[in-house]
């Protein structure tokens, strides 16, 4: 019996090493083309369902070509490509969604709603299986959809390259296959306001690249501007009864929160991006009204100008690009986003369930846990400070004040900086 077990283990080991080998070989499985998959996520606070909507393809794959079957961060959902037997993982990526955030709102307890979600994956050369999974705050899979894709399927819409919107590089560090492509999308800029958009993009890029560690990693990024004019100038502010026809149809007051600026029109957003190298999306809203929002591997949206605008842009980019969590909290917050006994996947928070996997190695010797804030070196002195992720109890952050905590913090804290550096190295194959 034991011998059979050994043989089985040997076979399993061989299988997994061959799986790794195959998965690393981009050209074996994928064409230099992008497959855009549009899904609908629907449900209530209790239920979830995933539906496939539309498929589209265009030339060029601008995402990762190595670490294909690995995730840098777990996210709140994953999209996985396997061969038809399900044994070889050929590609994986993770993300978070507005839908899952909405599921924790009061509204979700009384009405079912649907949300659009789109993903870009490399175009497979042969039939493969796709699995989309959504997890809950307890890290359990709450729903998933498995479906087969055939590259010869005539109903995969082919994007006409002539219809790709005009775009240009604000900063080109190198070929899009080797660099991380960040795309600026204009929201609420009319045709005649494109000059203002370009100026706002330059300021936003400078804000990001002025922050550590982006300053030293600048040559890993391309920044691209796409010109998609809106019919109306400015964005929708529902609490003021103002609704506008804009490029991605965003609005403030998301989930009835004044400053939460998001869009639910993901198809509209991806229609703008079809044919353009894109790995991370920055939507700049033509307004000086305070607000923004950022969702990991999804998009970020921010007011292009106005109060604390430079801080907000960098903070939201921390969410959307690097998957960093909010380090702020409310004393009167009763909802639990980070339950005890579950270690958050975000690198800048801990529930002390698996602190070894976080910044324990960066903690100065003899630092008490929890660390009592003393008001000294508030941006750099690493500790384990209680309060973070909207909760005043049970969740801990690395410093007293970080860019992911307040708009006044001058930089990301050392823990956030390390997380960003690791992610950039993963995406550019230097980890
Ligand atoms: Zn931080």
Measure 318 CA to ligand 1 centroid, in angstroms: 9
Return the higher-pLDDT residue of 23 and 272: 272
DSSP category for residue 373: P
Could you tell me the distance, in angstroms and rounded to a whole number, from the CA of residue 403 to the centre of ligand 1? 6
**317 is written with which tokens?**
């980019």
Distance CA(78)–CA(71), nearest Å, equals 9
Integer Cα distance of 167 and 161 in angstroms: 13
Q: What dihedral do alpha carbons 26, 30, 36, 41 form, nearest 10°?
A: -70
Burial of 372 (0-12, 13-18, 19+ CB in 10 A): exposed
Q: Are strands 167-171 and 385-388 parallel, antiparallel or unpaired?
A: unpaired
Is residue 309 domain-shared with residue 174, that is, in the same domain? yes
Let me know whether 223 and 312 are in one domain: yes
In the numeric block, which tokens belong to residue 6?
């050994």
Judge if 39 and 152 occupy the same domain.
Answer: yes
Residue-wise pLDDT tens digits, 145-176: 999 999 999 999 999 999 999 999 999 999 99
Same domain, 99 and 198: no
Kindly state whether residue 356 falls inside one of the protein's structural domains: no
pLDDT, position 363: 97
How far does the centroid of ligand 1 lie from the alpha carbon of residue 213, in Å?
12
Is the sign of the CA dihedral 72, 78, 83, 87 positive or negative?
A: positive
Distance CA 74, CA 298 (A): 14
Q: What are the structure tokens assigned to 20, written together?
A: 């790794």
Rounded (5°) CA angle 330-331-336: 70
Which helix (H) or strand (E) segment holds residue 129: the answer is strand 128-135
Specify whether 335 is located in the same domain as 295. no
Q: Ligand 1 centre from 421 Cα, in Å? A: 13
Cβ proximity of 274 and 60 under 8 Å: no
Are 116 and 174 contacting, i.e. CB atoms less than 8 angstroms apart? no
97 and 144 both lie in a single domain: yes
Answer yes or no: are the C-beta atoms of 271 and 173 closer than 8 Å. Answer: no
Q: CB within 8 A of 222, min separation 6: which ones?
A: 169, 171, 172, 173, 174, 176, 179, 180, 181, 182, 277
Contact assessment for residue 389 and residue 395, using Cβ atoms and an 8 Å cutoff:
yes
Taking the centre of ligand 1 as the mean of its atom positions, its distance from the CA of residue 380, in whole angstroms, is 9
412 alpha carbon – ligand 1 mean position (Å) = 5
Domain assignment present for 44: yes
Residue 54 counted as domain residue: yes
Q: Could you tell me the distance, in angstroms and rounded to a whole number, from the CA of residue 141 to the centre of ligand 1?
A: 28
427 C-alpha vs ligand 1 centroid, how far in Å?
21
- In the prediction, which pLDDT does 63 show? 94
Residue 59: CB atoms within 10 A of its CB come to: 14
Q: Are 199 and 309 contained in the same domain?
A: yes
Residue that is last in its domain, among 125, 158, 191: 158
Distance 271 CA to ligand 1 centre (A): 34
The Å distance, Cα 51 to ligand 1 centre, comes to: 36
Output the CA 159–ligand 1 centroid distance in Å.
40
Residue 190 falls inside a structural domain: yes
Distance 317 CA to ligand 1 centre (A): 13
Domain boundary pick from 158, 193, 226? 158
Give kind and range of the element (H or E) at residue 310. helix 309-320
Give the pLDDT confidence of 104-157 residue by residue, as tens digits: 999 999 999 999 999 999 999 999 999 999 998 888 888 999 999 999 999 999
Cα distance between residue 189 and residue 247, in whole Å: 8
Are residues 316 and 335 located together in one domain of the fold?
Answer: no
Residues 43-58 have pLDDT tens digits of 999 999 999 999 999 9
Q: Does 1 map to a domain?
A: no
pLDDT digits (tens, 9 = 90+) for 356-412: 999 999 999 999 999 999 999 999 999 999 999 999 999 999 999 999 999 999 999
Cα(305) to ligand 1 centroid in Å equals 24
Domain of 393, in residue numbers = 327-340+367-431
- Do residue 202 and residue 189 come from a single domain? yes
Q: Does 13 fall in a domain? A: no
Return the structure tokens found at 52. Answer: 């496939």
Distance 358 CA to ligand 1 centre (A): 12
Q: Which of 9-13, 109-113, 144-148, 310-314 has the lowest mean pLDDT?
A: 9-13
Instruction: Quote the CA–CA distance of 9 and 136 in Å, as a whole number.
Output: 32
Q: Is the pLDDT of residue 15 over 60?
A: no
Residue 12 lies in a domain: no
Taking the centre of ligand 1 as the mean of its atom positions, its distance from the CA of residue 325, in whole angstroms, is 8
Taking residues 65-73, report their average pLDDT: 94
CATH code of 234's domain: 3.40.390.10
Q: Could you read off the pLDDT of 86-95 as tens digits, one per residue?
A: 999 999 999 9
Stated as kind and residue range, the H or E segment containing 418 is: helix 414-427
Please state, in angstroms and rounded to a whole number, the distance separating the CA atoms of residues 159 and 34. Answer: 10
Q: 257 C-alpha vs ligand 1 centroid, how far in Å?
A: 24
Nearest to 221 by CA among 297, 276, 277, 155: 277
* C-alpha of residue 398 to centroid of ligand 1, in Å: 6
Centre of ligand 1 from the C-alpha of residue 20, in Å: 34
pLDDT at residue 295, as a whole number: 97
CA dist., res. 233 & res. 246, Å (int): 8
Please give the residue that has the higher pLDDT: either 24 or 418.
418
Cis-peptide, bond into residue 194, ω within 30° of zero: no
End-to-end C-alpha distance for the chain, whole angstroms: 41
In a domain, 61, yes or no: yes
Ligand 1 centroid to Cα of residue 363, in Å, is 14
Residues in the chain: 431
Query: Are residues 319 and 384 part of one domain?
Result: no
Q: How many domains does the chain have?
A: 3
Domain of residue 28, CATH code: 2.60.40.3250
Q: How far is the CA of 411 from the centre of ligand 1 (A)?
A: 8
Q: In angstroms, what is the span from residue 177 Cα to ligand 1's centroid?
A: 30
What's the whole-number mean pLDDT along residues 11-30? 58
- Choose the final residue of a domain: 158, 181, 205: 158
For the segment 287-296, what is each residue's pLDDT rounded down to a tens digit? 999 999 999 9
- Asked if residue 334 and residue 289 are part of one domain, the reply reads no
Domain shared by 318 and 331, yes or no: no
**Ligand 1: centre distance to CA 320 (Å):** 15
Check: pTM over 0.95? Answer yes or no.
no
């Amino acid at each position: 019996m034991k011998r059979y077990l050994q043989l089985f283990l040997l076979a399993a080991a061989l299988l997994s090493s061959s799986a790794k080998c195959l998965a690393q070989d981009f050209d074996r499985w994928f064409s230099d083309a992008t497959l855009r998959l549009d899904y609908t996520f629907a449900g209530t606070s209790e239920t979830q369902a995933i539906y496939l909507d539309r498929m589209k393809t265009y030339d060029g794959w601008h995402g990762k070509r190595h670490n294909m079957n690995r995730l840098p961060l777990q996210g709140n959902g994953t999209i996985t490509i396997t061969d038809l037997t399900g044994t070889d993982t050929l590609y994986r990526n993770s993300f978070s969604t507005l839908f899952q955030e909405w599921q924790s709102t009061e509204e979700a307890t009384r009405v079912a709603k649907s949300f659009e979600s789109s993903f870009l994956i490399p175009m497979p050369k042969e039939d493969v299986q796709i699995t989309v999974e959504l997890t809950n705050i307890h890290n359990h899979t709450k729903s998933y959809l498995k479906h087969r894709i055939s590259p010869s399927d005539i109903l995969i819409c082919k994007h006409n390259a002539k219809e790709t919107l005009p775009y240009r590089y604000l900063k080109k560090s190198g070929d899009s296959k080797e660099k991380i492509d960040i795309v600026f999308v204009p929201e609420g800029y009319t045709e005649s306001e494109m000059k203002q958009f370009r100026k706002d993009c330059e300021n936003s890029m400078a804000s990001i690249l002025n922050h550590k560690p982006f300053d030293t990693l600048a040559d890993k990024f391309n920044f691209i501007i796409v010109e998609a004019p809106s019919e109306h100038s400015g964005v929708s502010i529902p609490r003021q009864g103002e609704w506008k026809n804009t490029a991605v149809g965003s609005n403030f007051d998301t989930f009835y929160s004044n400053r939460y600026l998001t869009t639910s029109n993901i198809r509209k957003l991806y229609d703008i991006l079809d044919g353009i190298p894109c790995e991370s999306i920055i939507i700049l809203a033509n307004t000086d009204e305070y607000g923004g929002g950022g969702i990991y591997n999804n998009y970020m949206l921010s007011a292009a100008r106005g109060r604390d605008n430079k801080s907000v842009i960098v903070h939201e980019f921390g969410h959307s690009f690097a998957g960093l969590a909010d380090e702020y909290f409310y004393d009167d917050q009763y909802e639990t986003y980070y339950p005890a006994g579950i270690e958050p996947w975000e690198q800048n928070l801990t529930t002390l369930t698996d602190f070894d996997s976080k910044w324990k190695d960066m903690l100065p010797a003899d630092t008490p846990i929890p660390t009592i804030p003393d008001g000294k070196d508030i941006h750099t002195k690493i500790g384990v400070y209680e309060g973070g992720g909207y909760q005043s109890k049970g969740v801990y952050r690395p410093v007293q004040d970080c860019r992911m905590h307040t708009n006044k913090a001058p930089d990301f804290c050392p823990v956030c900086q390390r997380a960003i550096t690791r992610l950039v190295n993963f995406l550019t194959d230097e980890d």
